[in-house]
Amino acid sequence: MLDVDGLSVSFALPGATVRAVTDASFQVRPGRCLALVGESGCGKSVLAHALLGLLPGNAAVGGSAVLRTGGEALDLIGAPPAVLARKVRGRMIGLIPQSPAGHLTPVRTARSQLEEAVRELRSPRTARELAERFGLGDADLDRYPHELSGGMAQRVVNAIALAGDPGLLLADEPTTGLDRPLVDRAMGVLRELCDEGRAVLLITHDLRAAERVADDIAVMYAGRLVELGPAAQVLERPRHPYAAGLVDAQPDRSFAPIPGMPPELSHLPGGCAFAPRCARVTPACRAVPPLADGVACWEAADAARA
């Protein structure tokens, strides 16, 4: 469904260049969920916005992101803005946004916004069918966004995201501000959509949420993918020191934070960006490790060869 190859995004600022995403490559397939995880500010949401052409004018984007559906292949990075607006967004790719209540228009009811999406995207389903899919009744749809709970707003944007019957869903931090039962419910919905044959790219910093729904996990640090593999492998036997630190920081593990702070994306260190925080650093870390066999770490690669 989606093949991303060498995707890079940088922003030109006065006196600095922010390298938000560097050489990211991954695939998302029908019926599977890939969770992109990492600390806030590592470039996850920038990557998602690049796929939809929603970056500001000072962004420079390289690489490719080919979306294949119905026998057609479209490179999202090189596609004209009009194609992205009229053909891709909402129709080929559905967006479940961060902070759902803030994403909705505040002066219109949930019903009017869902009906507009159904009408403009020529949905094969009615607004009522989409609402019922997510447990929304008439009383819920007649509320304004500020009258909706976090969980109810989540259901509304889920229904809107499915209005165009997209094959790929991009969920950008969809659990922000939700309590754990609502997080589990939201992840359950994403899993159901995968089981129906859709592809899902989940952007999150919540490893527990990723574990609930993901088939595969990609770990991002300072704009680079440092580990990529099956979810069970990454969560139970992480090979990159940063991925291991994320897992160990979970409450059901050692609950120990990773020492230090991530680098600023405008002042990345030479070599491995994680080296200043890593207890396993070696002289080889002065060079940037490639993502080989699912891990970008010289020490892990040496251990695998041994």
Give the mean pLDDT of 100-120: 92
Residues β-bridged to residue 256: none
Residues β-bridged to residue 204: 37
Instruction: Pick the more confident residue, 135 or 110.
Output: 110
pLDDT for res 178: 75
Q: pLDDT band for position 296 (50/70/90)?
A: very high
Task: Lowest mean pLDDT of 3-12, 29-38, 42-51, 149-158, name the range.
Answer: 149-158
Percent pLDDT > 70 in the chain is 98
Q: List pLDDT tens digits, range 252-271.
A: 888 889 999 999 999 999 99
Instruction: Pick the more confident residue, 202 or 175.
Output: 202
Whether 306 has a pLDDT exceeding 60, the answer reads no
Q: List pLDDT tens digits, range 190-236.
A: 999 999 999 999 999 889 889 999 999 999 999 999 999 999 999 99
Task: Lowest mean pLDDT of 10-24, 103-117, 147-161, 215-229, name the range.
Answer: 147-161
- DSSP string covering 100-135, please? HHHHS-TTS-HHHHHHHHHHHTT-SS-HHHHHHHTT
* C-alpha 125 chain-centroid distance: 26
pLDDT for res 305: 61
Query: CA-to-CA distance for 112 and 115, rounded, in angstroms?
Result: 5
pLDDT for res 303: 66
Provide CB contacts within 8 A for 122, sequence distance 6+: 164
pLDDT for res 248: 93
pLDDT, averaged across the chain: 92
Q: pLDDT band for position 149 (50/70/90)?
A: confident
Length of the chain: 306
Instruction: Pick the more confident residue, 174 or 286.
Output: 286
Question: Backbone phi, then psi, for 195, in 5-degree steps?
Answer: -65, -20
Give the mean pLDDT of 4-8: 97
All structural domains of the chain, each given as residue ranges with its CATH number in brackets, are 30-50+79-236 (3.40.50.300), 241-305 (no CATH)
Whether 44 has a pLDDT exceeding 90, the answer reads yes
Query: CA-to-CA distance for 78 and 63, rounded, in angstroms?
Result: 9
Is beta strand 59-69 parallel, antiparallel or unpaired with respect to 72-75? antiparallel
Whether 128 has a pLDDT exceeding 60, the answer reads yes
Of 271, 246, 265, the C-alpha closest to 256 is: 246
Q: To the nearest 10°, the Cα dihedral for 155, 156, 158, 163?
A: 140
Q: pLDDT band for position 304 (50/70/90)?
A: low
Q: To which H or E segment does residue 231 belong? A: helix 231-236
What's this model's pTM, rounded to 2 decimal places?
Answer: 0.92
31 by Cβ neighbours in 10 Å (0-12 / 13-18 / 19+) ranks as middle
